[in-house]
Amino acid sequence: MTAPRLGGYALLAVAGVLVGAAGALVQAAWFPGGLLLALLAVAGLCYGGVKVMGARMGGGVPAGAWTVAVLLLTSSRPEGDFLFGAGLGSYAFLLGGMFIGVMCATLPLVPQPPGPPVRLGK
């Protein structure tokens, strides 16, 4: 693995953490539009990572970083504070984001055949 490719994956991981933290705040603040915006951000980051890196790992790295960040944000603090409320939107964000991340990380990469875009033999 080359250094630029490794740097790209590191940037995708940092972006996954940032999208997870921002989504945790936005999804509860502007429900239901914030929930939709947060899930679209996860989908855009993961699918964009697949397309930019040209590999499934491009979607798996930000999805994994997003999942770790969001799960760490759901843990309680010694004071008893939570960042997530116990509403339906929080569960939709957690499960929907994980579902979207897995979908993007397992997309098949179908290479296009080389040659002109016409039917053979015609």
Q: What is the pLDDT of residue 88?
A: 83
List per-residue pLDDT tens for the chain, 122 residues long: 789 899 999 999 999 999 999 998 888 787 888 899 999 999 999 999 998 888 889 999 999 999 999 988 887 767 766 666 667 888 898 899 999 989 988 887 767 667 666 666 65
Amino acid code (one letter) for 54: G
- Stated as kind and residue range, the H or E segment containing 97 is helix 88-105
Rounded distance, CA 92 to CA 28, Å? 11
pTM for the structure as a whole:
0.82
Q: What is the pLDDT of residue 109?
A: 72
CB pairs under 8 A, 24+ apart, for 39-46? 39/92, 39/93, 39/96, 39/97, 39/100, 42/66, 42/97, 42/100, 42/101, 43/100, 43/104, 45/12, 45/15, 45/16, 45/19, 46/100, 46/101, 46/104, 46/105
The gap between the terminal CA atoms of the chain, to the nearest Å, is 42
The residue extents of the domains of the chain are: 7-75+84-107
